[in-house]
Amino acid sequence: MAGTPEFTTRPELAGTFGMAASTHWLASAAGMAVLEKGGNAFDAAVAMGFVLQVVEPHLNGPGGEVPIIGHDARRGETFVVCGQGSAPAAATPEAFTSLGLDLVPGSGLLAATVPGAFGAWLLTLREYGTLPLREVLSYAIGYAAAGFPLVPAISWAIASVADIFTTHWHSSAEVYLAGGGVPAPGTLFANAALAATYQRILDEAEAASADREEQIEAARVAWYDGFVAEEIAQFAQTEVMDVTLRRHRGLLSYDDLAGWRARLETPVTYDYAGLTVCKTGPWGQGPVFLQQLALLSGYDLAAMDPGSARYVHLVTEAAKLAYADREAWYGDPDFADVPLAELLSPAYNDARRTLIGEGASGDLIAGEPAGRTAALPAFATESLRAGEGESRGASGADGQRASGDPGLDPATGEPLGRSARLRGPGAQARRGDTCHLDVADRWGNMVTATPSGGWLQSSPVIPALGFCLGTRAQMFALEPGLPTTIAPGKRPRTTLTPTLALRACDGSPYLAFGTPGGDQQDQWTLHFFLRHVHHGMNLQQAIDFPAFHSAHMPSSFYPRESQPRRLDIESRFSPEVIEDLRERGHDVAVQPAWSLGRVSAVSRHEGVLRAAANPRGMQGYAAGR
């Protein structure tokens, strides 16, 4: 399997007016509608973000979070909006260990952080958008009130937790089992409580002022200081059954919400192949993408067949080294001293590159930047030792694993086998995945965002609001002294990681892209990027090309397992390549032909805008003209 594929599942779109791509066609259509009304890329992205909360409730929700990376052509500014909410003031290691826990649970209320997505979208709209709140929120309100057709994955997600809803999470049953059973795919589904929540926010904002920016601020206050915060804080005191098979109250309080703000940050960057690649700070896993580039910069990737065993092996082994550093060094830089400059330095990566051999490594080898000694959490080292040869569950259509998520067989639409290690509410459910969106407009603005969290299967619905809280705190460690040790006000080291690339010569935006997929995000997007940059594939060809990823590194999700040498690879790779990889020592798990990755992307070059979206999962789409 060599060379660039001639066939693509759909065309790469090209035009000059605007492009919107996302993991759901309704969000992409809403984004284009905003562009057609004269809104810019940021207005469109905000509208898309709110629509995704409604039409993909199994993949994200209002109680979740979002990192956003954008380039404002008017200001010549590239920025990150951090929409990752922080841990509650009561969230200390002792708060969990006193309950007999050694990990933060993956479902229920204990793992809730401040819902950051709402504040992040409003900050983006206020600072970089042009339209009033009504113009971007109306699409989400419309779909929540009048309904939208369910994609099959939502029905399957509801079915997987139906027993939990009826037995323990009755408020969720009232929303998702309102007809007395699991709604069938294609059913028109509405969430009246959520529609009412957003309508009330809009009404309060418009009653507060006729000024656009003052309305946006009034909406923020309604969420973080007003009725939404009050309902969240009250519900968090409810005792809720979670994955531990015990009932726990949440730690989130009104003061936690009132004291939180989304914030603007400078991206972390790395120059590669004539592009400046921009990522979030190490409160997300984003810099691991840059570390992989730094390691791979020592090889002539353009001379290699991207479908060859040598190429797959090399990229996989580089990923293992970069992700080992993620486990040892990444965390909220407000609390941890993260040595990013050293981790991305030529000397450090020259030394690390020597660890890549011809065989598959079974170790998790963190580096020692500036001579510092790496410390790994116990779940990383213990699981690595105990997990040699164990299965964490096959990766399915959305690449999920480890946390009880079976994934979906795209050929049959049925869930793949689940891990037997998990128990209780949220255990047999599919762990919520993630959404993604990208937008480029005719003025040279570009934005990319990866919303996630607040999944319908993660926590009970708050009755008065119509949505549930997130569980992102499960990514913290409870051991003291680590960059990811939980602490009040600290951001968990999330897996959410959009990417924006500028032309290094003049700083103009060239490419924005991302994918759902938890720990796999910075593998799937890296493969897309390398195929485009080194092998001349257009956006759609690079997305459609057969995919793979390593499952060697510890999962960021409860119960934080590892599976040494595991390599998931689509069956479209040749049998010879698969056998070669096994001979190199990889534990190769062949997955269905179109099952790994959900990348979407937009680009801008010489005045032409382009876009592409993933056929895997059968719901992502791009739109543009």
- 350 in a domain, yes or no? no
- pLDDT score recorded for residue 381: 82
d(CA 589, CA 399): 12
> Which amino acid is located at 571 in the chain?
S
- pLDDT score recorded for residue 5: 56
Question: Quick one: average pLDDT of 440-466?
Answer: 97
**Of 205 and 420, which is predicted with more confidence?**
205
Domain count, the chain: 1
Among left, alpha and beta (phi > 0; psi -120 to 50; other), residue 299 is: beta
- 470 in a domain, yes or no? yes
- 179 in a domain, yes or no? yes
- Residue 405 pLDDT > 90, yes or no? no
Instruction: Find tokens 């698969």 and name the residue.
Output: 578
Which tens digits make up the pLDDT trace of 87-114?
A: 999 999 999 999 999 999 999 999 999 9
447 in Cβ contact with 278 (< 8 Å) = no
b/e for 595-616, b at 16 or more Cβ within 10 A?
Answer: bbbbbbbbbbeeeebbbbbbbb
- 8 in a domain, yes or no? no
- Residue 34 tokens read as 């905003």
Sign of the CA dihedral running 133, 135, 137, 141: positive
- pLDDT score recorded for residue 386: 60
- pLDDT score recorded for residue 431: 53
Which tens digits make up the pLDDT trace of 272-322?
A: 999 999 999 999 999 999 999 999 999 999 999 999 999 999 999 999 999
- 549 in a domain, yes or no? yes
- pLDDT score recorded for residue 383: 62
- Residue 421 pLDDT > 90, yes or no? no
Question: Quick one: average pLDDT of 225-229?
Answer: 98
The CATH number of the domain where 507 resides is what? 3.60.20.40
- 187 in a domain, yes or no? yes
- Residue 400 pLDDT > 80, yes or no? no
- 191 in a domain, yes or no? yes
- pLDDT score recorded for residue 6: 73
Query: How many CA atoms within 13 Å lie on the side-chain side of 369?
Result: 23
Question: Quick one: average pLDDT of 171-177?
Answer: 98
Query: Which residues form the domain of 184?
Result: 13-283+424-624
- 405 in a domain, yes or no? no
Peptide bond into 559 cis (omega under 30): yes
